[in-house]
């Protein structure tokens, strides 16, 4: 910010102009005994009160001055005149002359020779420099003393000889404008109700706007970026005709989380190292009896074309309460309901997006709780090709068009496919999810018809969000350490655009 | 997912081809493996242990670390991996495993006492084995990988391998009191009894984790030879006497178990993968295992199962249309030898070898066809039915309210569902015993002791972590808390709450009150005044979390649905807050 211009100075300039009609800022500075910059500032300040108060024109002044060498010539004669003066009547040896004449003697000698003032008498040895004319006129000196009369040619010549230099200075030529006044009115910053009511706005002068400054930040609340992505995923599923499952049950029985999904009771995922088990309430209540029996059988001795796992299945293990490790537990409940509908099976597409919990080692990308996105389709005769086609459509809506699939092992799907997408920014394939056809050992005990296949896929909500927003530490996104500035400044979520 | 490390050059020699890292990665990808890391022993030592000194002498040979699917035990060592890949590439046929009957079978007798601790045992012999340093290491590594994975850290199955020429059958599997068992453990010189052994290994980096499997049992399992030489004390350690070395020719393998199916799989896997080093390749000598009831069972089973698969169904499952003979070729490349049934052209007879115990249903066979066909060669299609989609009403309401509360000037937080007992009790001046909280049995840290019963602590922590933001801070969250609930299936239920906090230089009760009024307006719930029948109102109350005289119940249709008030200074202090806060929290479930 510049220092405010003292109002006395603006007033003084205006008063000066009233009588003088016109002024030059440089001259004013001299006259007022004030720095030129301050005069310029005061003029600008006057202009800010009204464009038409003053007519201001920027002018460039050129001035000629003698260089140090030029001043020496003006004072004590040109080099050539000095050399001429140094030649006595009887002549002088050239070397002696040059030695006596100092630094500029050589230039002076050659000029004096070309002017025809001197000649070289070679009839004697060594040759002597003699005067050729009796008197000379030192025109250079005279011209330097009267710069104003110089011809352009001489001017250029002297500049070249570094006797003269030209300086340019800028100043403002100020004169009265059409709305000249010696008093300045206060400028209005904004249009107000009072001005409108009184009609004053017609007379008032308004301060010019600075359009390069940012506007005032709107006061508002913001939605959380991860939950904005959740909304977008919900929207995509709804667009694809998937119905939302009720996932508001974090505490789940091991039975639904594992056993119903044909995950054997000795599976490492059921280890306390991976799963949060509940101390209170520790066990679930009654489970659907017939179904539990069928699950027990398929685990221990098989059935529906399966050998089973050949181990002793225990109800007590299935009754242990836990925090669900995947939303597939909810999918299992929904498929069971679908199989046991009063009016019989009908094809269905389900989705859910909600929290799951893992008792895992935590790091920059893993928390003990995260959101799982899951899609499930149940219909007679579904194929792996249908799953691949559905995943292509789903990921296309996320703005991902290049997909490929890797064989993998999941306890409850067969075939199983890891989903990889090509990330242009990272220039590599990254794993984005898991998918497969639910095993018959899972689907058939529920009571779904034999020809019904169930396709499923899942991914985390956090990972694509972190990739999309370039967040490296999950704690910057989820939990109390979230950066609210990031939340407040975040863009709307448009997954299909980059 | 287990990871194995194999030397790259040896692997390429065995595969008969040199690959670039990318080419090998592609091969892995198609087969369902993942080249996880390209490293050297030196790099691994430096990286994992930071041991630069030890690393200085370590090898710089390139090692591939490869992720193996958790159900493919047959790929857990170099031998199995090479066979699997070469069969997949169609370079060799899957090997056939044969029994070689000895003049006199080795016998392992199970005594009834083992039923108390580890009831099952199986055994086999590999004859005329030639170990190199590489294959010896691989043999040890395989046992380790099996122990870690299918054996569930030796709880389900423990493997012992012995130099048969140092011991003499018949062998006896017993369970004895710890102090009665005396032997010199592997690589030790001193004889220990069972009790001393537990002390001796209590601090051993690898073995200490297995001690609890039997430590407190009155009897420990043990295998003796006919001269009472101890072969092993499963699942802890073998005896030093019978240890195998590079010079070992004949290997006796025993597996003791609590899960017989897994023991059979483990035994089959070991003999299948290492019979390749026998003088007569892929041959195994069976053993007789005498059960406690006197019956004799011959092990290993090495059973080849035959499955009949419909060509039509296999094609339909995957969504392809390939002729029967092509499907048979594909299966053969997946280690499942298949032939088209001569009688009806629509069936395949598939042989499931003892290396593929993971195949338990036709769908496993379908998957192998799909892998051999190539997942990425399948022509995509879409399920052909339409459904009118429905939103879950509670989530729909949540979405609508989130938008509105943000529009009212509150910023959304996303806080953790799990927290410490103090977060929901002590810091809020509440008694944990009096809260309907779900308690976690095995939390690794304090942050995972309970499931939150209120959204308030998460929001207060978010306020504290964002002290640099200009005041006022107005935050909200609409999410689930979990409360114990009798008469529900699991004894607990979620409740969807809306919680909002205003944090400013003064508490500003009217700010959160105003938000409550606005939300009720959006829900078309009137302010209940005078004698109105329904609506919401505030009912003065006292709550230790709130400032005295500045707390009210949020009432809806004469039921308490939440609390509103100015937070108690001691609560603010407990959360390290220096600015006053007012808060409102109530369930939105009655409004669905």
The predicted-structure confidence for B324-341, as pLDDT tens digits, reads as follows 999 999 999 999 999 998
Give the minimum alpha-carbon distance from A184 to chain B in angstroms, rounded to a whole number.
40
Contact B437, A278 (CB under 8 A): no
Give the minimum alpha-carbon distance from B220 to chain A in angstroms, rounded to a whole number.
22
Q: Is pLDDT of B47 > 80?
A: no
Q: Is pLDDT of A299 > 70?
A: yes
Chain A residues touching residue B471 (CB < 8 angstroms)? none
What pLDDT sits at residue B19?
93
Indicate the average pLDDT of chain B.
92
Give the minimum alpha-carbon distance from B457 to chain A in angstroms, rounded to a whole number.
9
**Banded pLDDT at A498 (limits 50, 70, 90):** low
**Banded pLDDT at A36 (limits 50, 70, 90):** confident
Which of B316, B371, B442 minimises the CB distance to A381? B316
| Mean pLDDT for the stretch of residues B74-96 | 91
Domain boundaries, chain A: 6-65+167-202, 68-155, 226-489
Q: Which residues pair with B310 in a beta bridge?
A: B347
Name residues 382-441 of chain B within 8 A of A (Cβ).
382-383, 385-392, 394-395, 399, 402-403, 405-418, 438-441
Contact B447, B510 (CB under 8 A): no
Determine the straight-line distance between the first and last CA of chain A, rounded to whole angstroms: 40
Q: Is pLDDT of A101 > 80?
A: no
Question: What residue of B is the nearest CA neighbor of A348?
Answer: B387
Q: Is pLDDT of A84 > 80?
A: yes
Q: What is the DSSP string of A179-216?
A: T--SSPPPPBSS--HHHHHHTGGGT--BPPP-TTS--P
The predicted-structure confidence for B163-216, as pLDDT tens digits, reads as follows: 999 999 899 999 999 999 999 999 999 999 999 999 999 999 889 999 999 999
Name residues 97-156 of chain B within 8 A of A (Cβ).
149, 152, 155-156
The predicted-structure confidence for B299-325, as pLDDT tens digits, reads as follows: 999 999 999 999 999 999 999 999 999
Q: Residue B303: phi, psi to the nearest 5? A: -75, 135
Q: Is pLDDT of B421 > 50?
A: yes
What pLDDT sits at residue B154?
94
| Mean pLDDT for the stretch of residues A63-67 | 82
What's A4's DSSP letter? P
**Residues of chain A with pLDDT > 70: what percent?**
98
**Banded pLDDT at A443 (limits 50, 70, 90):** very high
The predicted-structure confidence for B508-528, as pLDDT tens digits, reads as follows: 999 999 999 999 999 999 998
| Mean pLDDT for the stretch of residues B443-461 | 93
Preferred mutation among B370, B399, B423 to probe A, highest tally of A CBs within 10 A: B370
User: Distance between CA atoms of B359 and B494, rounded to whole angstroms?
Assistant: 40
What pLDDT sits at residue B49?
66
| B351 Cβ contact partners less than 8 Å away, ≥ 6 residues apart | B304, B305, B306, B336, B337, B338
Which of B69, B443, B466 minimises the CB distance to A409? B69
What pLDDT sits at residue B457?
97
Of A72-76, A260-264, B393-397, B418-422, least confident by mean pLDDT is A72-76
Task: Tell how strand B230-233 and strand A403-407 pair up.
Answer: unpaired
Indicate the average pLDDT of chain A.
88
Give the minimum alpha-carbon distance from A279 to chain B in angstroms, rounded to a whole number.
4
What pLDDT sits at residue B57?
73
Preferred mutation among B85, B395, B407 to probe A, highest tally of A CBs within 10 A: B395
Verify whether the Cβ–Cβ distance A248 to B316 is below 8 Å. no
User: Distance between CA atoms of A253 and B125, rounded to whole angstroms?
Assistant: 44
* Residue B177 touches partner A, C-beta closer than 8 Å: no
The predicted-structure confidence for B571-584, as pLDDT tens digits, reads as follows: 999 999 999 999 99
The predicted-structure confidence for A199-230, as pLDDT tens digits, reads as follows: 888 888 887 777 888 888 778 899 999 999 99
* Residue B274 touches partner A, C-beta closer than 8 Å: no
Q: Is pLDDT of A4 > 60?
A: no
Verify whether the Cβ–Cβ distance A222 to B383 is below 8 Å. no
Verify whether the Cβ–Cβ distance A241 to B496 is below 8 Å. no
| Mean pLDDT for the stretch of residues B397-415 | 96
| Mean pLDDT for the stretch of residues B251-279 | 94
**Banded pLDDT at B344 (limits 50, 70, 90):** confident
The predicted-structure confidence for B350-362, as pLDDT tens digits, reads as follows: 999 999 999 999 9
What pLDDT sits at residue B55?
65
* Residue A219 touches partner B, C-beta closer than 8 Å: yes
Contact B121, B273 (CB under 8 A): no
Each residue of B147-181: b (16+ CB within 10 Å) or e?
Answer: bebbbbebbbbbbbbbbbebbebbbbbbbbebeeb
**Banded pLDDT at B53 (limits 50, 70, 90):** low
What pLDDT sits at residue A45?
82
Give the minimum alpha-carbon distance from A292 to chain B in angstroms, rounded to a whole number.
14
| Highest mean predicted confidence (pLDDT) among A45-59, A77-91, B494-508 | B494-508
Name residues 456-495 of chain A within 8 A of B (Cβ).
477-485, 487-488
What pLDDT sits at residue A123?
81
CA distances from B219 to B179, B190, B222, B257 (A): 9, 22, 9, 15
Chain A residues touching residue B447 (CB < 8 angstroms)? 368
Of A14-28, A427-441, A447-461, B93-107, least confident by mean pLDDT is A14-28
Q: Is pLDDT of B438 > 80?
A: yes
What pLDDT sits at residue A97?
80
| B569 Cβ contact partners less than 8 Å away, ≥ 6 residues apart | B547
Name residues 399-458 of chain A within 8 A of B (Cβ).
404-409, 414-417, 437, 439-441, 453, 455
User: Distance between CA atoms of B404 and B517, rounded to whole angstroms?
Assistant: 12
Q: Is pLDDT of A410 > 80?
A: yes
Contact A87, A113 (CB under 8 A): no
Q: Is pLDDT of B366 > 80?
A: yes
Verify whether the Cβ–Cβ distance B390 to A244 is below 8 Å. yes
Q: Locate A433 and state its tokens.
A: 């999810």
More confident residue, A23 or B228: B228
Which of B69, B380, B462 minimises the CB distance to A389? B380
CA distances from A9 to A32, A177, A185 (A): 9, 18, 16
The top-level CATH class assigned to A68-155 is mainly alpha
User: What CATH superfamily is the domain A226-489?
Assistant: Bira Bifunctional Protein; Domain 2 (3.30.930.10)
Name residues 4-23 of chain B within 8 A of A (Cβ).
none
| Mean pLDDT for the stretch of residues B9-31 | 92
Verify whether the Cβ–Cβ distance B383 to A379 is below 8 Å. yes
Tell me the pTM.
0.80
Preferred mutation among B31, B317, B460 to probe A, highest tally of A CBs within 10 A: B317
Strands (E), B260-341: 283-290, 296-299, 305-310, 338-340
Q: Is pLDDT of B374 > 70?
A: yes
**Please, what are the domains in chain B?**
3-89 (3.30.56.10), 98-188+197-299 (3.50.40.10), 393-591 (3.30.930.10)
A to B CB pairs, distance under 8 Å: 286
Q: Is pLDDT of A2 > 50?
A: no
**Residues of chain A with pLDDT > 90: what percent?**
42
What pLDDT sits at residue A190?
86
Verify whether the Cβ–Cβ distance A386 to B417 is below 8 Å. no
| Mean pLDDT for the stretch of residues A65-76 | 83
Q: At CA A267, angle to CA A265 and CA A269, rounded to 5?
A: 115
Question: What residue of A is the nearest CA neighbor of B361?
Answer: A306
What pLDDT sits at residue A3?
45
Verify whether the Cβ–Cβ distance B414 to A479 is below 8 Å. yes
Q: Locate B131 and state its tokens.
A: 């170990």
Question: What residue of A is the nearest CA neighbor of B417?
Answer: A369
The predicted-structure confidence for A465-491, as pLDDT tens digits, reads as follows: 888 788 888 988 999 888 888 888 888
In the block, residue with structure tokens 């669905």 = B592
User: Distance between CA atoms of B199 and B178, rounded to whole angstroms?
Assistant: 12
What is the largest distance, in Å, between two alpha-carbon atoms of chain A? 145
Contact B498, A329 (CB under 8 A): no
Contact B378, B320 (CB under 8 A): yes
In the block, residue with structure tokens 């030029």 = A70
What pLDDT sits at residue A331?
97
Which of A277, A355, A384 minimises the CB distance to B370? A384
**Residues of chain B with pLDDT > 70: what percent?**
98
Architecture of domain A6-65+167-202: 2-Layer Sandwich (3.30)
**Residues of chain B with pLDDT > 90: what percent?**
85
More confident residue, A86 or A498: A86
Name residues 449-508 of chain B within 8 A of A (Cβ).
451, 458, 461-462, 464-466, 469, 473-476, 480, 482, 484, 488-494, 496
Verify whether the Cβ–Cβ distance B367 to A416 is below 8 Å. yes
Which of A310, A441, A455 minimises the CB distance to B361? A441
């Amino acid at each position: 910010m510049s220092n405010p211009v003292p109002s006395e100075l603006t007033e003084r300039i205006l008063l000066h102009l009233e009588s003088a009609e016109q002024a030059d800022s440089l001259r004013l500075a001299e006259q007022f005994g004030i720095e030129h910059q301050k005069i310029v500032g005061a003029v600008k300040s006057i202009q800010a009160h009204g464009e038409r108060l003053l007519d201001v024109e920027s002018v460039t002044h050129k001035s000629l001055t003698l260089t140090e060498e030029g001043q020496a010539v003006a004072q004590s004669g040109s080099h050539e005149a000095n050399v001429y003066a140094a030649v006595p009547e009887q002549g002088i040896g050239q070397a002696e002359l040059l030695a006596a004449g100092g630094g500029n003697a050589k230039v002076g000698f050659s000029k004096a020779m070309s002017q025809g003032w001197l000649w070289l008498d070679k009839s004697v040895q060594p040759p002597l420099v003699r005067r050729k004319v009796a008197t000379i006129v030192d025109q250079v000196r005279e011209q330097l003393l009267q710069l104003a009369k110089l011809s352009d040619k001489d001017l250029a010549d002297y500049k070249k000889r570094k006797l003269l230099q030209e300086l340019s200075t800028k100043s403002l030529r100020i004169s009265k404008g059409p709305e000249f006044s010696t008093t300045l009115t206060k400028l209005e910053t904004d249009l107000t109700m009072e001005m409108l009511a009184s009609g004053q706005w017609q007379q008032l002068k308004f301060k010019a706007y600075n359009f390069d400054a940012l506007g005032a930040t709107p006061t508002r609340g913001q939605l959380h970026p991860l939950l904005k992505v959740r909304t977008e995923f919900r929207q995509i599923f709804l667009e694809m005709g998937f119905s939302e499952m009720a996932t508001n049950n974090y505490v789940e029985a091991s039975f639904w989380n594992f056993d119903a999904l044909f995950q054997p009771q000795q599976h490492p995922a059921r280890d306390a190292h991976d799963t949060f088990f509940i101390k209170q309430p520790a066990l679930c209540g009654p489970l659907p009896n017939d179904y539990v029996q069928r699950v027990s059988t398929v685990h221990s001795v098989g059935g529906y074309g399966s050998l089973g796992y050949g181990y002793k299945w225990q109800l007590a293990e299935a009754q242990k309460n836990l925090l669900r490790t995947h939303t597939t537990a909810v999918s299992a409940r929904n498929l069971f309901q679908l199989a046991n509908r009063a009016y019989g099976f009908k094809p269905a597409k389900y989705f859910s997006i909600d929290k799951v919990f893992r008792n895992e080692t935590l790091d920059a990308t893993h928390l003990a709780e995260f959101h799982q996105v899951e899609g499930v389709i149940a219909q007679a005769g579904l194929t792996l090709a249908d799953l691949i086609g559905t995943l292509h459509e789903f990921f296309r809506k996320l703005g991902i068009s290049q997909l490929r699939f890797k064989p993998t092992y999941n306890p409850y799907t067969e075939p199983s496919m890891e989903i990889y997408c090509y990330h242009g920014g990272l220039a590599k394939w990254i794993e984005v999810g898991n998918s497969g056809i639910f095993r018959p050992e899972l689907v058939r005990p529920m009571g779904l018809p034999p020809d019904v296949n169930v396709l499923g896929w899942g991914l985390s909500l956090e990972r694509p969000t972190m990739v999309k927003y370039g967040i490296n530490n999950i704690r910057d996104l989820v939990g109390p350490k979230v950066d609210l500035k990031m939340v407040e400044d975040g863009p709307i979520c448009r997954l299909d655009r980059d | 997912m287990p990871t194995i490390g194999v030397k790259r050059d040896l692997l390429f020699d065995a595969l008969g081809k040199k690959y670039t890292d990318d080419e090998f990665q592609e091969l892995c990808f198609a087969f369902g493996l993942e080249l996880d890391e390209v490293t050297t022993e030196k790099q691994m030592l430096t990286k994992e242990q930071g041991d630069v000194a030890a690393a200085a002498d370590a090898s710089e040979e390139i090692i591939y670390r490869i992720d193996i699917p958790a159900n493919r035990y047959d790929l857990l060592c170099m031998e199995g991996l090479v066979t699997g890949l070469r069969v997949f590439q169609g370079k060799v046929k899957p090997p056939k495993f044969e029994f070689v009957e000895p003049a006199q079978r080795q016998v392992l007798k199970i005594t009834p006492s083992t039923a108390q601790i580890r009831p099952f045992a199986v055994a086999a012999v590999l004859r005329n084995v030639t170990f190199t340093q590489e294959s010896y290491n691989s043999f040890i590594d395989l046992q380790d990988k099996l122990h870690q994975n299918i054996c569930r850290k030796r709880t389900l199955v423990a493997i012992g391998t012995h130099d048969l020429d140092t011991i003499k059958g018949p062998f006896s599997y017993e369970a004895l009191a710890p102090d009665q068992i005396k032997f010199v453990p592997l690589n030790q010189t001193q004889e220990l009894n069972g009790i001393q052994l537990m002390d001796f290994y209590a601090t051993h980096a690898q073995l200490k984790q297995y001690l609890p499997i039997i430590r407190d049992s009155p009897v420990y399992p043990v295998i003796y030879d006919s001269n009472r030489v101890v072969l092993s004390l499963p699942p802890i350690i073998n005896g030093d006497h019978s240890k195998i070395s590079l010079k070992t020719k004949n290997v006796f393998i025993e597996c003791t178990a609590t899960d017989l199916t897994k023991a059979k799989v483990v035994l089959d896997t070991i003999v299948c993968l290492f019979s390749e080093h026998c003088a007569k390749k892929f041959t195994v000598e069976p053993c007789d295992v005498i059960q406690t009831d006197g019956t004799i069972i011959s092990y290993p089973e090495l059973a080849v199962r035959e499955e009949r698969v419909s060509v039509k169904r296999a094609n339909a499952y995957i969504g392809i249309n390939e002729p029967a003979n092509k499907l048979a070729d594909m299966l053969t490349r997946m280690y499942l030898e298949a032939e088209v049934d001569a009688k009806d052209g629509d069936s395949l007879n598939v042989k499931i070898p003892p290396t593929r115990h993971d195949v338990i249903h036709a769908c496993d066979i379908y998957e192998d066809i799909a892998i051999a066909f190539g997942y990425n060669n399948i022509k995509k299609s879409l399920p052909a039915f339409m459904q009118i989609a429905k939103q879950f009403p509670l989530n729909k309401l949540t979405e609508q309210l989130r938008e509105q509360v943000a529009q009212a000037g509150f910023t959304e937080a996303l806080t953790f569902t799990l927290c410490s007992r103090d977060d929901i009790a002590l810091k809020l001046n509440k008694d944990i015993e009096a809260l309907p909280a779900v308690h976690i049995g095995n939390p690794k840290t304090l942050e995972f002791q309970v499931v939150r019963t209120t959204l308030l602590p998460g929001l207060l922590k978010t306020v504290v972590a964002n002290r640099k933001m200009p005041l006022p801070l107005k935050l909200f969250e609409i999410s689930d808390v979990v409360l114990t609930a009798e008469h529900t299936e699991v004894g607990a239920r979620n409740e969807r709450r809306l919680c909002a906090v205003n944090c400013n230089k003064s508490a500003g009760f009217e700010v959160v009150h105003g938000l409550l009024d606005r939300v009720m307006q959006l829900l078309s719930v009137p302010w209940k005044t005078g004698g109105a029948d329904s609506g919401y109102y505030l009912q003065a109350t006292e709550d230790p979390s709130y400032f005295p005289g500045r707390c009210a119940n949020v009432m809806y249709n004469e039921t308490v649905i939440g609390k509103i008030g100015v937070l108690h200074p001691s609560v603010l202090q407990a959360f390290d807050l220096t600015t006053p806060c007012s808060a409102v929290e109530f369930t939105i479930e009655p409004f669905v």
